[in-house]
Amino acid sequence: MPSNTSAPAGGSSAGGSAAPRKVLQGQKALVTGANSGIGRGVALALGAAGADVVVNYIQGDEAANEVAAGIEAAGSRALTHRADVSNESQVEQMFARAVGELGTIDILVANAGLQRDSPINAMTLEQWNTVIGVNLTGQFLCARAAVREFLRRGVVRSVSLAAGKIICMSSVHQMIPWAGHANYAASKGGIMMMMESLAQELAPRHIRVNGIAPGAIRTPINRRAWETPEAYASLMTLIPYGRIGEPNDIARAAVWLASDESDYVVGATLFVDGGMTLFPGFATGG
Ligand code: NAD
């Protein structure tokens, strides 16, 4: 059992002061849900690794502009774009603008997600449809638009060994059932099978599709699981590594999956969870 049950303020050994390697130099990325939490961390890390980044968000202009400023401070270009990933025409318009202004898209991180928690007997159809619509259908719509662009362009070997990379943000709940969150767990299980099916379908076209399954990461989506010392101590009983994850823990995994350093990784889910999935059936948060 982990002994560290205090809530460290920034916890992770993530980051550090060394300048990041520009492993994504010359590439163009689009990150959905990029003005908060994990998506914010991923967008900043892709920018620091040399990619120009489209910062998608649904609300919060100021937060999106702050992420864009961080990307530009690292020397990459950033575009902010407000769009609902569950809306087909808004997704199409977003990709058209991205390709129009940046020339192409090489990397999609389909990250936007939300929860509408309820016991099943009280769950409304709206709660069900909202979660499936954003978390699963949103990833389908963005993946389809990205794949069309990857196929149009093909491989440009001076940029990347692949014609494109898609990273689907899943969750430990793609494999761990989550009582009281059937809509969320169903969306993440769906993401896993969609990701693996796309990976199989698109590998012959040199498009790599992979997933990341975060455990408990310190973001607004699961604030209740970490914001009090009691909640944090309870969370720690589920995490062998003895600390909560930080957005940068996920961001570094995303940079690797987006880069040619993972060129032979196809259809994999990378669990970034401090060992939480070693306790199946007990996970909470995210
Ligand atoms: P968050 O609430 O901080 O961020 C969610 C982001 O999604 C926000 O930027 C929000 O604006 C965006 N978003 C929501 N609805 C949208 C829509 N319709 N269109 C476009 N953007 C929309 O949460 P987070 O923890 O950063 O979550 C990011 C992803 O990571 C989600 O898919 C979530 O399921 C997953 N995840 C999080 C955890 C965790 O512990 N935080 C664990 C596992 C998986």
Out of 184, 232, 241, 264, the active site residue is 184
Fold of 28-278: Rossmann fold (3.40.50)
* Ligand 1 site, residue 86, Cβ cutoff 6 A: yes
Task: Return the residue whose CA atom lies nearest to atom 8 of ligand 1.
Answer: 33
Report how far ligand 1's centroid is from the alpha carbon of 155 (Å): 30
* Ligand 1 site, residue 95, Cβ cutoff 6 A: no
* Ligand 1 site, residue 84, Cβ cutoff 6 A: yes
Q: Which whole-number Å values give the CA distances from 151 to 139, 156, 196, 205, in the listed order? A: 18, 11, 18, 8
* Ligand 1 site, residue 85, Cβ cutoff 6 A: yes
- Calpha distance 136→190 (Å, rounded): 7
Task: Return the residue whose CA atom lies nearest to atom 17 of ligand 1.
Answer: 84
Q: Where are the domains of the chain?
A: 28-278
Per-residue pLDDT of the chain in tens (286 residues, 90 and over written 9): 333 334 443 444 444 457 778 999 999 999 999 999 999 999 999 999 999 999 999 999 999 999 999 999 999 999 999 999 999 999 999 999 999 999 999 999 999 999 999 999 999 999 999 999 999 999 999 999 999 999 999 999 999 999 999 999 999 999 999 999 999 999 999 999 999 999 999 999 999 999 999 999 999 999 999 999 999 999 999 999 999 999 999 999 999 999 999 999 999 999 999 999 997 555 555 6
- The question of whether 264 is a catalytic residue gets the answer no
Q: Is 89 exposed, middle or buried (0-12, 13-18, 19+ CB in 10 A)?
A: exposed
Q: DSSP of 142-161, one letter per residue? A: HHHHHHHHHHHH---TTT-S
* Ligand 1 site, residue 38, Cβ cutoff 6 A: yes
- Predicted local distance difference test score (pLDDT) of residue 235: 95
Q: Which two tokens stand for residue 151?
A: 């196929």
List Cβ neighbours of 76 (8 Å cut-off, separation of 6 or more).
Answer: 46, 47, 48, 50, 51, 52, 53
- State which of 221, 243, 250 you would mutate to test the pocket of ligand 1, scoring each by most atoms of that ligand within 8 A of its C-beta: 221
Q: Which whole-number Å values give the CA distances from 194 to 82, 139, 174, in the listed order? A: 25, 9, 11
Q: DSSP of 87-113, one letter per residue? A: -HHHHHHHHHHHHHHHS---EEEE---
The CB density around residue 262, as the number of other CB atoms within 10 Å, is 18
- Predicted local distance difference test score (pLDDT) of residue 119: 98
Q: Which two tokens stand for residue 112?
A: 């936007």
